[in-house]
Amino acid sequence: MLFMTPNILKNFVSKRATRLYPFEVREPFANFRGELVNDIEACIFCGMCQKKCPSQCITVDRKTGVWECDPCACVYCSVCVDHCPVNCLSMKNDHRKPFAKKFMYTLQGTPPKPKKAAKKDE
Amino acid sequence: MAKTIIPFGPQHPVLPEPVHLKLVVEDEIVKEAIPALGYVHRGLEKLVEIRDFHQMVQIVERVCGICSCIHAKAYCQGIEELMGVEIPDRARFLRVIWGELHRIHSHLLWLGLFADAFGFESVFQQFWKVREKIMDILEATAGNRVIISVNVVGGTRYDLTPEQLRWILEGLTEVEAGVKALQRTMLDDYTVKKRTVGVGMLSREQAIELGAAGPTLRGSGVSQDMRQLGYSAYCDLDFEPVVETGCDSYARSTVRFRETLQSIDLIRQAISRLPGGDINVPVKGNPEGEIVTRVEQPRGELMYYIKASGKKYLDRCRIRTPTFANVPPLLAMVGGIELADVPVVVLSIDPCISCTER
């Protein structure tokens, strides 16, 4: 106990180690993997993210142009971000606020034209 | 008094891990302990059948909630050896830096929990306060506090910038000062020694015979550390295993305390010798063959057995964790001690049951 006393006395006079969360929130670190976001306008619905995801939380529907992610199943590893060929996926550096009900992060984009139709247009 | 059986765990106020021991007690003295495991089995090894070998990196990281980075390192190392991939030098050093940061945070966590086990709450909070700096370093450099996801087959995913390296060194100075301020409390204090010296004895012969691993083995005077194998960049760093000859709980806690300071030194060495260049190499094809790979986890030797047959999915991935090896020595330590000392002795092997059961 004797050897701990200097530490205890120091703690009395030094700054508090904890914060009064949620009133006082620390700035998030720039590289923190907090939330997966998709810039749906740039998405080409290639399905690479769905293929590479280790937790299989992403579903891409090429026909209807729906991109869906289950934030409760996502493990925030950002493997999909690394493999996205058009870099439309990114990680926001702030975490999502707690929620009471499960939901799906669904985005509706413009599906790519089928290859034949695209050729006809030309 | 006649023999009584007292159940200990899986839920216990001072035990953070779900291990169940049936303690055969006679006059408050433990005569025998019968373990029961299986409370957190998740069947992660079975997932190799439905997840390809790249996705398995993220899965093996989740085997352990404390030393996740080292699990991924062992797995990637095995796959790379199977495929004949030579990872860049910079990646080898980066793996050491993140691996040692993980070791520091695991040891500080343990030192805190150990102090908590014998009722020294202020030391517990103080260690965790010091540990918070390491968690910040991990979060800022790799994007997450514990499951940092830095290893991939072929190298690492993230690089460290010169500013980050400087910041890590500054942070380590702070951590070192914090740990050293607690050195006398942890190693010389009368109260602490009263609860740990001579408690949970495991002789050198017993440790070898029962197959102890890591600090449990080194606390019994055996100089064996998997980092001596020179995997990653350990072959390029000055490294000498920390050995204590006390054979008791005190010796094991001293090993961990000294290893914390040693890890800080290893990170400094790695940063000063960090070469430039790429951080990963592209990996093509599928692995084929069988391999056993070993690394040193904060708790001891971690072994991966991988079998692949040239397909996207592995045939088998067997994980043997240090706590699994440390359960028989624990049973030997518990015999003959007082009931009140059981939590301290159980914690002295640093059990990680979710690792053991996967």
- DSSP labels, B19-60: -EEEEEEETTEEEEEEEE--SS---GGGGGGTS-TTTHHHHH
pLDDT tens digits, B69-124:
899 999 999 999 888 888 898 898 999 999 999 999 999 999 998 888 888 888 88
Domain of residue A31 covers: 27-112
Q: Which of A1, A32, A52 sits opposite B191 (nearest CB)?
A: A1
Q: Which two tokens stand for residue B217?
A: 């083995």
- Nearest 5°: the CA angle B231, B232, B234 is 70
**Where residue B292 falls among pLDDT bands split at 50, 70, 90?**
very high
Other beta carbons within 10 angstroms of residue B67's beta carbon come to 28
Contact between B236 and B275 (Cβ < 8 Å)? no
Number of domains in chain A: 1
Cβ–Cβ contact B129 with A under 8 A: yes
CATH number for position A49 = 3.30.70.3270
Residue-level pLDDT at A3: 82
The bridge status of strand B4-8 relative to strand A89-92 is unpaired
Give the per-residue pLDDT at B175: 92
B169 touches chain A (CB under 8 A): no
Q: Which residues of B touch A32 (CB under 8 A)?
A: 139-140, 143-144
Q: Do A78 and B158 touch (CB under 8 A)?
A: no
Residue found by looking up tokens 């800080």 in the block: B264
Per-residue pLDDT tens over the stretch B58-72: 888 888 888 888 999
- Is residue B61 within 8 A of residue B147, CB to CB? The reply is yes
pLDDT of residue B196: 87
Burial class (CB in 10 A: 0-12, 13-18, 19+), B294: middle
pLDDT tens per residue, range B138-153: 998 988 888 888 888 8
CB-based contacts of B129, cutoff 8 Å, min separation 6: A17, B178
Q: Using CB atoms, which residue from A2, A11, A31 is nearest to B140?
A: A31
Report whether B331 contacts B212 (CB < 8 A). Answer: no
Any A CB within 8 A of B140 CB: yes
Residue A8 within a domain: no
Q: Is B199 within 8 Å of B217 (Cβ atoms)?
A: no
**Inter-chain touch B54–A52, beta carbons under 8 Å:** yes
The reply to whether B149 touches chain A by the CB within 8 Å rule is yes
Q: Is the pLDDT of residue B173 over 90?
A: yes
C-beta separation of B321 from B1 below 8 A: no
| Residue B339 pLDDT | 85
Chain A positions contacting chain B at CB under 8 Å are: 1-4, 6-8, 11, 17, 29-33, 52-55, 75-79, 82, 91
Q: Compute the mean pLDDT over every residue in chain B, rounded to the nearest whole number.
A: 87
Domain boundaries, chain B: 44-319
Query: Which residue from B149, B157, B189 is facing A1, i.e. has the nearest CB?
Result: B189
Q: Does B143 touch chain A (CB under 8 A)?
A: yes
What distance in Å separates the CA atoms of residue B356 and residue B358, rounded to the nearest whole number? 6
- List of chain A residues whose C-beta atoms are within 8 Å of the C-beta of residue B188: 3
Q: How far is B181 from chain A (nearest CA, A)?
A: 7
**CA neighbours within 13 Å on the CB side: how many for B217?**
24
What pLDDT sits at residue A121? Answer: 53
- Fold of the domain built from segment(s) B44-319: Cytochrome-c3 Hydrogenase; chain B (1.10.645)
**Using an 8 Å Cβ cutoff, are B326 and B212 in contact?**
yes
Identify the pLDDT of residue A115: 65
Which positions in chain A touch B126 (Cβ < 8 Å)? 4, 7, 11
**Token pair recorded at residue B270:** 């790695």
Enumerate the residues of chain A whose CB falls inside 8 A of the CB of residue B144: 32-33, 76
pLDDT digits (tens, 9 = 90+) for A43-68: 888 888 888 898 888 888 888 888 88
Q: Is residue A80 one of the residues assigned to a domain?
A: yes
Contact residues, chain A, for B182 at CB < 8 Å:
7
pLDDT at site B227? 87
Which one of B126, B139, B191 has the shortest CB-CB distance to A29? B139
Cβ atoms within 10 Å of B29's Cβ, excluding its own:
12
Contact list, A29 vs chain B (CB under 8 Å): 136, 139-140, 143
Coil, helix or strand for B337?
A: coil
Does residue A120 have a pLDDT over 70? no
**Residue A22, in any domain of the structure:** no
* Chain centre distance of CA B342: 21
From A6, which residue of chain B is nearest by alpha-carbon distance?
A: B181
Q: Is B59 on the interface with A (CB under 8 A)?
A: yes
A chain contacts of residue B158, beta-carbon cutoff 8 Å? 31
Complex ipTM above 0.85? no
* pLDDT, tens digit, 9 for 90 and up, residues A5-45: 888 888 889 888 888 888 888 888 888 888 888 888 888 88
If DSSP codes are grouped into helix, strand and coil, which group holds residue B87? coil
DSSP B312: S
Burial (0-12, 13-18, 19+ Cβ within 10 Å), B160: buried
Average pLDDT rounded to a whole number, residues B144-166 = 88
From the list B55, B123, B157, the residue facing A4 with the nearest CB is: B123
Any CB–CB contact under 8 A between B164 and chain A? no
What are the chain B neighbours of A17 within 8 Å (beta carbons)?
129, 132
Decide if A36 is inside a domain.
Answer: yes
For B305-352, what is each residue's pLDDT tens digit? 999 888 888 888 899 888 888 889 988 888 888 888 888 888 888 888
Per-residue DSSP letter, B154: T
Question: Cβ B58–A79 below 8 Å, yes or no?
Answer: yes
What's the pLDDT at B119?
81
If you count residue pairs, one on A and one on B, with CB atoms under 8 Å apart, how many are there?
Answer: 66
pLDDT attached to residue B172: 92
Burial class of residue A85 (count of CB atoms within 10 Å of its CB; 0-12, 13-18, 19+): exposed
Whether residue A98 is preceded by a cis peptide bond, meaning omega within 30 degrees of 0, is no
